[in-house]
């Protein structure tokens, strides 16, 4: 593998790191498996929700038969009762990068911050967990404390929940915005109207496949972890089970939140990475795979 300068970490000889990114529902999982077969690669998940056990339908987690014998890592290995953080992900992903430094590696998923933490010079300082109660603080006081923690904090003063969460989470420092590894970032995309249609139909299929029952099993166990209360597809149905909305409204909310999330994903990937985007030919997906392979092979040569 060729590296741009001495700051990159050497993985081995001609091994590659490929990253398949893009908005939710665009076809990243299928592309990752096809490329893994082509390049004899392992696949590492970089989707924040797919790390959790039992959160399968709502996260569109890959099925065993869909893996086609390819080794997959960081999928389905964390209890949904645990708050698995980007700090945890960085440690686990880099351990795999070291373990498989003589293999081709493919990251796949839509959580850009996870990918950034794994491959770029993000450094964390773990704060001790504090049983601190912010109830007595006004929103203005909370914002002031947030700005003391990070002068670049842009959370709105009226978003109390996010202000508190920001104060409670571990500190994150980007020492320098440079990558530690040489990676090829492949983005899959389609036109916005088509993407939103795909997302809406995907949510409908999730409901047909048993998403309601999946979420109900956690709700009946009184599981109120961060994963269940913030994950799209889970938090909306929790509101339904709480009697705060109808099932129809919950489904519409899942679709809306999924579309909004897709927009945020585009923004993050375009601003944070140098992405080579490919339009997906859904009726002839093999054509898209071929285009991506030709691009990768040309870069290698």
Q: How many CB atoms lie within 10 A of CB 29?
A: 21
pTM: 0.81
User: Start-end ranges of CATH 3.40.50.300 in the chain?
Assistant: 1-124+176-207+262-301
Mean pLDDT, rounded, of the chain = 88
Contact 93, 51 (CB under 8 A): no
Least confident among 31-40, 106-115, 151-160, 260-269: 151-160
Per CATH, the architecture of 1-124+176-207+262-301 is what?
3-Layer(aba) Sandwich (3.40)
Q: Which residue, among 213, 258, 259, has the nearest Cα to 237 in the 3D structure?
A: 213
pLDDT level of residue 14 (50, 70, 90 thresholds) = confident
pLDDT, tens digit (0-9, with 9 covering 90-100), for 244-287: 999 999 999 999 999 999 999 999 999 889 999 999 999 999 99
Per-residue pLDDT at 170: 58
Q: Is the pLDDT of residue 8 over 60?
A: no
pLDDT, tens digit (0-9, with 9 covering 90-100), for 147-183: 877 777 778 888 888 888 888 775 555 444 688 999 9
């Amino acid at each position: 593998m060729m590296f741009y300068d001495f700051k990159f970490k050497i993985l081995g000889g001609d091994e590659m790191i490929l990253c398949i990114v893009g908005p939710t529902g665009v076809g990243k999982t299928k592309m990752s498996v096809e490329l893994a077969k082509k390049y004899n690669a392992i696949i590492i998940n970089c989707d924040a929700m797919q790390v959790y056990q039992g959160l399968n339908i709502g996260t569109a987690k890959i099925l065993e038969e869909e893996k086609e014998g390819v080794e997959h890592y960081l999928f389905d290995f964390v209890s949904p009762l645990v708050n698995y953080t980007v700090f945890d992900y960085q440690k686990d992903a880099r351990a795999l990068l070291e373990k498989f430094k003589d293999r081709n590696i493919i990251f796949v998923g839509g959580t850009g911050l996870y990918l950034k933490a794994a491959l770029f010079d993000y450094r964390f300082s773990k704060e001790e967990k504090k049983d601190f109660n912010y109830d007595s603080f006004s929103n203005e006081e909370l914002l002031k404390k947030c700005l003391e923690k990070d002068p670049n904090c842009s959370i709105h003063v009226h978003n109390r929940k996010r202000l508190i969460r920001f104060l409670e989470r571990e500190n994150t420092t980007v020492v320098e915005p440079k990558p530690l590894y040489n990676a090829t970032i492949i983005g899959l995309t389609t036109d916005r109207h088509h993407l939103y249609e795909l997302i809406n139909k995907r949510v409908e299929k999730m409901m047909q496949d048993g998403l309601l029952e999946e979420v109900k099993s956690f709700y009946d166990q009184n599981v109120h972890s961060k994963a269940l209360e913030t994950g799209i597809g889970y938090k909306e149905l929790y509101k339904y089970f709480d009697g705060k909305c109808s099932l129809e409204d919950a489904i519409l909310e899942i679709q809306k939140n999924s579309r909004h999330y897709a927009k945020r994903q585009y923004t993050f990937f375009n601003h944070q990475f140098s992405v080579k985007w490919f339009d997906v030919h859904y009726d002839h997906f093999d054509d898209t795979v071929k285009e991506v392979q030709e691009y990768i092979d040309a870069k290698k040569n």
